[in-house]
Amino acid sequence: MNPHRNDGVRAFAPGSVGNIGVGFDLLGHSIAGPRDVAIVRRSRWYESAPIPPSDQPWFVNGVAAVVTALSPHALLALLHDIERAFGRVRGAPNAARTLDLDLLAYDDTVLAEPGGLTVPHPRMMERAFVLQPLAEIAPEWRHPVAKATAAELAARLPKTQECRPIASTST
């Protein structure tokens, strides 16, 4: 793998528990900054029930495709830096959070490091809040392990997952 490739889909999923005002434009400025990262496509915002089910408020989610010269590790570190800048404190798994940025995929790269980075994201195929917005912006993107497109994976999801686009068109 060439970490300096600058083509293909590198996707991440921003999700916000609270204020939808933390939009892609603001996140885009945080990501791009002086770094070699550019958002090239982004989905609408989606609202979804928490997974696993809990008494937490619904989440706001979206997916963006970016191009970058950063390696998968450096890109994930950048996403974590942005989370901290927005007040994210990592606590218990599945706890409420101000912002959650994940590296879903990096071209056709497959990584499975024990205790480390896993690409594609290990649970992305199970989650409507990831696959619906991903299928919106990159329906033909093919999961390098499952060998199915984002649209095919989204169509296979159980209809019991509550996830829907938010009516507002603001970013």
Give mean pLDDT, residues 120-137: 92
Write down the pLDDT at residue 42.
86
> Distances in Å between the alpha carbon of 139 and those of 60, 101, 111, 135, 149?
20, 21, 22, 4, 6
CATH class for the domain made up of 10-164? alpha beta
Q: Is residue 164 flagged as an active site residue?
A: no
Please state whether beta strands 10-16 and 46-48 pair in parallel, antiparallel, or not at all (unpaired). unpaired
Q: Is residue 100 flagged as an active site residue?
A: yes
Closest CA to 133 of 9, 11, 50: 11
Q: Is the pLDDT of residue 24 over 70?
A: no
Q: Is the pLDDT of residue 9 over 50?
A: no
pTM (two decimals): 0.80
> Could you give the percent of the chain with pLDDT greater than 90?
29
Q: Is residue 88 flagged as an active site residue?
A: yes
Give mean pLDDT, residues 4-24: 42
Position with higher pLDDT, 86 vs 170: 86
The rounded distance, in Å, linking the Cα atoms of 79 and 43 is: 18
> Distances in Å between the alpha carbon of 30 and those of 90, 115, 156, 161?
19, 27, 34, 31
CB under 8 Å to 85, separation ≥6 — which residues? Answer: 30
Catalytic residue among 88, 107, 108, 142: 88
Catalytic residue among 10, 42, 97, 127: 97
Give mean pLDDT, residues 23-49: 72
Domain ranges of the chain: 10-164
